[in-house]
């Protein structure tokens, strides 16, 4: 084979190899571009999937919070219904209690009025001089007439004296009974408010991890002493009670009404002592 043919053949092979190489490079570029496009699509799909997952999670959490809030709202509404029902029952029982209390008080007052009326009637009867009875026949003896006058005068004097003594005795008894009622009512009110003070005092000391001291036997009214014992006096505006009333300063005609108002307010939980909450330095 001549050299020229060999060279020509090599040139053809070289051209064919170059052509194949160029084709392969083009295919590689297309393949690389396609791979890059696919990679971009995968990344985009992954990003969208992550965003969708996050959005779905947030929506789920949001819906979960909504469900929880709805359940809490339903529970609160149910609790409010029960509270209103309990308040209604309490008001009903309180009304029955005060109806009974006022009924008993009315009966006692009526009994006292009846007894007072009977006392007045007895006093009037004893202060009234008995009338002279008409004689069956007129006597001509002046001595007999004078004797009757003397006896009648003595009887009138004795009757008047007995009536005066009875009136004084009745007045003293009524005054003594009134004073006894006031003293008993004052003692009962003091015992109730003292019990509330000692209870709040024990709670305050326990709250602070301290051993409660012995209960007080007398209620102090100084606010500084209240603060030293970690308690405070609560008087609700609807109670109608003034602070100085608790110190026993009401007197005269208002005294009975004041004592009854205080007792009613304490029975309804409108006047009481409570423990002071912990301060920041105490919590540390």
Neighbour-count burial of 159, counting CB atoms closer than 10 A to its CB (0-12 exposed, 13-18 middle, 19+ buried): middle
- For helices 142-207 and 3-127, the axis angle rounded to 10 degrees is 160
Q: Evaluate whether 271 touches 222 at the Cβ level (below 8 Å).
A: no
Question: How much is the pLDDT for 43?
Answer: 87
Render the burial of 92-126: b for 16+ CB within 10 Å, e for the rest: eeeeeeeeeeeeeeeeeeeeeeeeeeebeeebeeb
Residues of the chain whose pLDDT is less than 50?
Answer: 120, 129, 131-139
* CA distances, 122 to each of 92, 107, 118, 157, 158 (Å): 44, 22, 6, 17, 15
Q: E strands, 161-202, where?
A: none
**Cα distance between the two ends of the chain:** 110
Question: How much is the pLDDT for 81?
Answer: 82
Grouping H, G, I as helix, E, B as strand and the rest as coil, residue 235 is strand
What pTM was estimated for this model as a whole?
Answer: 0.39
């Amino acid at each position: 084979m001549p050299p020229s043919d060999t060279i020509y053949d090599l040139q053809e092979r070289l051209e064919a190899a170059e052509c194949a190489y160029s084709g392969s490079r083009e295919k590689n570029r297309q393949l690389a571009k396609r791979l890059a496009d696919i990679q971009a699509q995968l990344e985009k799909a992954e990003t969208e999937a992550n965003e969708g997952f996050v959005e779905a999670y947030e929506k789920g959490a949001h819906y979960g919070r909504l469900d929880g809030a709805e359940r809490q709202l339903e529970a609160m509404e149910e609790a409010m219904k029960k509270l209103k029902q309990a308040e209604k029952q309490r008001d009903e029982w309180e009304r029955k209690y005060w109806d009974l209390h006022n009924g008993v008080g009315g009966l006692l007052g009526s009994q006292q009025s009846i007894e007072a009326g009977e006392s007045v009637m007895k006093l009037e009867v004893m202060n009234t001089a008995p009338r002279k009875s008409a004689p069956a026949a007129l006597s001509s003896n002046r001595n007999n007439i004078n004797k009757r006058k003397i006896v009648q005068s003595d009887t009138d004097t004795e009757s008047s004296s007995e009536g005066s003594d009875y009136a004084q005795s009745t007045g003293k008894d009524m005054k003594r009974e009134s004073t006894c009622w006031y003293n008993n009512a004052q003692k009962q009110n003091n015992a109730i408010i003292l019990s509330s003070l000692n209870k709040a005092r024990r709670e305050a000391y326990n709250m602070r991890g301290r051993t409660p001291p012995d209960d007080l036997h007398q209620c102090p009214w100084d606010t500084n002493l209240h603060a030293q014992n970690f308690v405070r006096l609560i008087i609700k505006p609807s109670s109608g009670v003034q602070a100085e009333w608790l110190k026993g300063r009401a007197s005269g005609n208002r005294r009975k009404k004041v004592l009854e108002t205080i007792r009613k307010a304490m029975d309804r939980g409108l006047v009481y002592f409570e423990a002071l909450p912990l301060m920041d330095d105490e919590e540390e």
